[in-house]
Structure 1
Amino acid sequence: MNCRLCGHSDLVSMVDLGATPPCERFLTRERLAEPEQTYPLHLRVCSACLLAQLPALITPEDTFTEYAYFSSFSTSWVAHAERFVAETVRRLGLGTDSYVVEAASNDGYLLSHVVRRGIRCLGIEPSANVGAAARENGVPTLTEFLGEDVGRRLRAEHGPADLVVANNVYAHVPDLLDFTAGLRALVADDGWISIEVQHLLSLVRHRQFDTIYHEHFQYYTVRSAQQALATGGLAVVDVETLPTHGGSIRLWVRPVAVAGPPSPRMSAVLAAEAEAGMHALAGHTGFGAAVAALRRQLLGFLLDAAREGRTVVGYGAPGKGNTLLNHCGIRTDLLRYTVDRNPYKHGRFTPGMRIPVLPPEQIAVDRPDYVLVLPWNLRAELTEALRYIGEWGGRLVFPIPELDVVAANPRRMRSVR
């Protein structure tokens, strides 16, 4: 395995999570008797450029041709997108004569807000089923994988984009250089690119090992993102830190010729990374031991609950949850089922551990003692949505960044462990 950014051959282990199935391959009941293919899930960092990465053991076509994740099912995520559009329209002065392109536009959760403002836009979404949902909602969407050739073709057909949005996709591309060239091909020579991606500093600091899965091919600091974008003639000029996904960065990027000097807050984030050791190999070591301790903590709680005859179910069936379930070896003896708002997943089973996925209403029917929240990054949203479990003394369990068991009641919630 060579680094996909610089080609260097010396890659150092950060954490080895064993072997798991791809995180979005939910099983139908008919497939339960069939074998599942698993792939190593071993995160390494390049000793030369410090890009943290997984080997490309599965292709984007394997993952994204039909996809189980629909962004619009998260209320807080839709609200986040709406705020982004409103703020960006003001920041860049976008109007009805502007043109916006989004790479990996999913079900149109973001571009729908662009459409409502009368701004011309186009979504590029590789998953046929998800892109179809976007078109049904009035968002122009092409079923494509972005790369340099596709970017050049779309620029020739539709013109250069004033804004290219690439939210939560820059980690999902195994051919990093080709995708970066595609971004440059799409954007106008005086245009802007906005990229949101999980911050490696937050992943390490808060033990967010479950965000490591096969469709994430790399994990970025601002510094490593700078190096990646430079390969396409692009420069990072500003950075925002965001709470999304447990800690993300929003990179504001421009073609090098018009970039100008970096902002003070970009310098501040780079300084924080350096202080945490993330600009050297030392900041990437020790993560495996921290993950092992967290795993033991969660398993100890679930085993105690089983011995006490307590019922534990899950909330959510996100990709990250399947990394957690598989690495910890959590099966139906410890987690009876999980629920999800996405009807696509109902009646299916999680990959690997084969936990049944049911509609959210099942929790009120069964009145479990504990609800393990797998999309822990939506803590505020789900704490409010699941407040009703306090009616029977139910408690919420958040597994990351450390085990937190929260007593719920209709009026207030407090940590009890």
Structure 2
Amino acid sequence: MNFLVILISILLSVICVLLALLQHYYFITKFYKKPSSKYAPEFEDLIPSDRKNLYELGYPIQNLNQDEDSVLNYLTSALKSQPKKISENINIISQNPKKMGIDTEVYNVLQAALAFKSAGKNNKAMKLFEHASAIAPDNADVLNWYGEFLEQQHHDIVTADELYFKALTHCPNHEAALSNRERTAPVVDRLDYLLFKTIDNKKDYLKDRMKLDNFDSVKKQAYYLHIYHTVGIEGNTMTVEQLRYVLETGHVVSGKSIMEHNEILGLEKAMQYVKLLIRTDYIGVTEILGIHRRVMGHVDPIKSGVFRDEKVFIGSHIPPPHEEIPALMENYAEWLNSEEAHSMHPVRYAAIAHYKLVDIHPFVDGNGRTSRLIMNLILLKAGYPPVMILKEQREQYYQALKTANMGDVRPFVRFVAHCTLQILDMYIYGTRFLSIDGSSEAENHVIHY
């Protein structure tokens, strides 16, 4: 009798364990389902792993200059071309600013702007509208008039829509802004859809081009440019040639601080770690801490890979208290791996993941670099090349983040989308420049893409 009781107890225990395992498996597959990673991502090798083989360029570093490194010079110039904004024509509605309770200076500026606009002197009107929005950035009427001017005179419906949104954040019941945005929002959504479609077309074109061209030289140069711009946004003053010298030789550059050297070494380690994470199914808190540990490991070993334990201020943005960081990061990781996130277009998903991490600001330092690496990890896993934000785009980058903090994340998503187009063009023009076949037909295909 006792034997049967023991046997039944053991069987029930085994059944309970099996049920628990099945429940756990169901939970993981249900809520953390990812695209299969049992393949080699197309752009995985854009992050070199063998420094000696991939960095060897066939000429001494000390002889490097812009004239000799034509590939680097070509790619840099290709990157500096900024995408043009798309828009539609609509009619402008003029109103009397004096009735809106605006202070005298802004009123005078707006009166002059409207007068110049009526006289057809749009350049002068534009400067005055910019000045009015600078001295009264919270005034819904100013923002709305400025948006209307941009729509009619500059055919810039995207920026106009952003201004209408800002106007509504300061005055939710503003009738003109509500009417304007009701008209522009669907158009802008359509333009964003076309932007993502263009990105996907160029990505597919690049994948085909990579099979035909000598891609190694482009990849080497892009790797250095990526590190150069990523640390450059944070204030690092090393040139591409100098950081390349540091990475290839392990020697220091005279006149540059230890901090600048360590930032470069740390970012390289973090990029190698991101390459390992491309084939993993789950991006969790451990992986995020691992990226930060490598980014800041050489700069601040004590605070690298750990959440901040102090309050920080980022301009006008105040991140959440440090006591909330662990819970917020668990929620962030849950969102990263959710069906909601994976249902987005990869570029939108990557951009929002970047913004969410910067908004939490979980570390004392290195938040921007870590966020950009998370963004690129998502893009690489989805088959897109890693995005680089240029030093020259620093102001635009931070302005887009500031706008996201105000409640409109679309300009930041759009900014990342344009950066994605930018990097695709760099690789496409680079592969054309180094094309093995050299046929004019292939060149024209790229030029008129």
TM range (shorter): under 0.3
Higher helix share: 2
Q: Higher RCO, 1 or 2 (CA under 8 Å, sep at least 6)?
A: 2
Q: What's the TM-score once normalised by structure 1's chain length?
A: 0.27
Bigger Rg, which one: 2
Q: What's the TM-score once normalised by structure 2's chain length?
A: 0.26
Higher strand share: 1
